[in-house]
Amino acid sequence: MFKVKFRVSFVETDSAGIVHFSNYFRYFERAEEELYNSIGRNLDFISLMKKYGYTLPRVEAHCKYFSPLRFNDVFEVRIWVEEVKEKSIKYGFEVYNITTDKLSARGYVVVVAANLEKGVSVPLDKEFVEQILKTTKQEDKKSEIKIFED
């Protein structure tokens, strides 16, 4: 599991100081970006396209909300791999409110390797998948993760 901490900024809240539901997907994506950056090769979305010849658009997203985040709350986003297929990864996420010691939300996103120039999905690079599993500290749990060799 990979973890990253953030603080709720005023711009992310409504007039009552509560985070708007759509911002949780931004938090998921920020954590995913930090995951790629932590691999150690500045592997952001632009670098990903250059190195592997694909980017990772979202094709499915889900979030269940439990307890609100509020202005200035410190929270942690936890990300892990739930499933790997030939061309896609399903990431699980939790948003944990450190300030209130409560789970705020849980969800997932499915990303697909896509060559934008050709407009087609492409196989994930095995090295990339291995790096993600290592960074999320799941390389020893491969048997527990659904990994499909299509």
Backbone angles phi, psi at 62, to 5 degrees: -145, 145
Eight-class DSSP state of 15? T
Q: Give me the pLDDT at residue 19, please.
A: 97
Above 60 in pLDDT, residue 150?
no
Examine the residue annotation and report whether 14 is marked as an active-site residue of this protein: yes
How remote is the C-alpha of 54 from its chain's centroid?
17
Maximum Cα interatomic distance, the chain, rounded to a whole number of Å: 49
Structural fold of domain 2-147: Thiol Ester Dehydrase; Chain A (3.10.129)
Q: Give me the pLDDT at residue 65, please.
A: 97
Domain limits, the chain: 2-147
pLDDT > 70: percent of the chain: 87
Give residue-wise pLDDT tens across range 85-113: 999 999 999 999 999 999 999 999 999 99
Q: In whole numbers, what is the pLDDT of the chain averaged over residues?
A: 89
Strand (E) or helix (H) holding 138: none
Backbone angles phi, psi at 29, to 5 degrees: -70, -35
Amino acid at 123: P
Give residue-wise pLDDT tens across range 39-52: 866 666 677 777 88
- 55 falls in which pLDDT band (50, 70, 90)? confident
Q: Which candidate in 14, 44, 101, 150 is catalytic?
A: 14
C-beta separation of 106 from 82 below 8 A: no
